[in-house]
Amino acid sequence: MNDLELLDTYGPDAPPPSDAALDAARARLLGAMDPATARPRPSLTRGWGIAVAGLGLAAAVAVAGVTLPRIADRPAPGVTATTGSGPIRLVAAAKPEFPWTLPGLGKASFTANPGDPVIAVYLAEDHSDVYLTSTDAPSKGEPADVGGRPGRIIEFNGTTDNGRPPLDLVWEHRPDLWLRLTGQGRYATPEALIELAGRVQDKPQRLRFEVTVGLIPDGWELAAFKDESILTYRDPADPGTDFSVQWTPKGEPLFRAREIEGMENASKVTVQGRPADLFRAGEFWMVQARLADGSIFRLMTPRSFTEEQALELAGSIRRST
């Protein structure tokens, strides 16, 4: 039994899931639509890349939430760590935000698939759900006027839970800035969508996750997240290179060295004054550590990071307040 397992064994019971986590779970269930209508209900299908014994990396991707760090050249001893866009330098991370607010629909939850814009999800008890995101100027659809600004109504094939197909409104919210509203149920009409579009405000909403990342490589950006507990940051100049953080409640099982495919070395380290595990595999670093409230996070970075950078980044991860 290692130090982290001792904390698990003698610590208090795990807390119940938050309302935000339950909302995110429902959004995932609603995402299981026919492919013809998959866009309005975001599908979160990429896996968090823990390579456990008996599973290849590609197969393990289906386990939980985001992309594996891409295989990259490993820095030689004494050499500055680099990615495809240059040397890695850790800097303070800005708080992630969604730029717009849609009043009158309750609290939004958020999702983002790798490489796609963030989507604000407004769920309703009667499944009259609404999705808001940025997009490109449309090339099809029926013309619509949104407060004097051009837009298009776009229909979908198929149906949703209540038998009515969803409907899209894409409009020029600001010069050269296009937004997309997808309405279902009561909001799947041109009139309802145009009325909703008139409510959209340029008022940022903070994206709240179970943990915050205090340091990221200079120039990197938030690329994907899932269930408010799995985050991916990537290098926009080299989109295949990223790092991921997964948070789990206290009491969850811990990974052991023998469960990680490609394991080269496992060592005991200290992160934020508490015992932690550092795993060096053939393709990535993984730091498994405990936060002050007893919950666990696992950080995966490419091997192009140095050991010191992986530990420094792990030291910047905090429980959200």
pLDDT band at 14 (very low <50, low <70, confident <90, very high): very low
Q: How many Å apart are CA 241 and CA 302, to the nearest integer?
A: 7
Domain extent at residue 215: 45-94+207-319
Tell me what pLDDT residue 28 has: 40
Q: What is the pLDDT of residues 176-225, one digit of tens each?
A: 999 999 999 999 999 999 999 999 999 999 998 999 999 999 999 998 88
User: CB pairs under 8 A, 24+ apart, for 266-273?
Assistant: 268/2, 268/3, 269/311, 271/311, 271/314, 271/315, 272/315
Same structural domain for residues 157 and 202? yes
Contact 310, 287 (CB under 8 A): yes
pLDDT band of 254, cuts 50, 70, 90: confident
pLDDT beyond 80 at 164: no
For residues 86 and 150, membership in a common domain is answered with no
CB 135 within 8 Å of CB 123: no
CATH number at residue 305: 3.40.1000
Pick the last residue of a domain from 163, 189, 206.
206
Confidence at residue 116, expressed as pLDDT on a 0 to 100 scale: 84
pLDDT the model gives residue 16: 46
Q: Is 212 in the same domain as 202?
A: no
% of the chain surpassing 70 pLDDT = 71
Query: What pLDDT, on the 0 to 100 scale, is given for residue 163?
Result: 65
CB atoms within 10 A of CB 164: 16
Residue 158: the pLDDT is 62
Residue 120 and residue 71 share a domain: no
Place of tokens 């490109």: 136
Mention every residue, 6+ apart, whose C-beta is less than 8 A from residue 130: 102, 105, 121, 122, 124, 181, 182, 183, 184, 187, 196
pLDDT tens-place string over residues 29-58? 334 333 333 333 332 223 344 333 332 222
**Whether residues 233 and 148 fall in one domain:** no
Task: Answer yes or no: do 102 and 183 share one domain.
Answer: yes
Domain boundary among 178, 206, 234: 206
Tokens of 185: 């149920």
Per-residue pLDDT at 297 exceeds 90:
yes
Count of domains observed in the chain? 2
Among 133-137, 192-196, 249-253, 303-307, the minimum mean pLDDT is found in 249-253
Segment 69-77 mean pLDDT:
44
Q: What is the pTM of this model?
A: 0.65
Question: What's the mean per-residue pLDDT of the chain?
Answer: 78
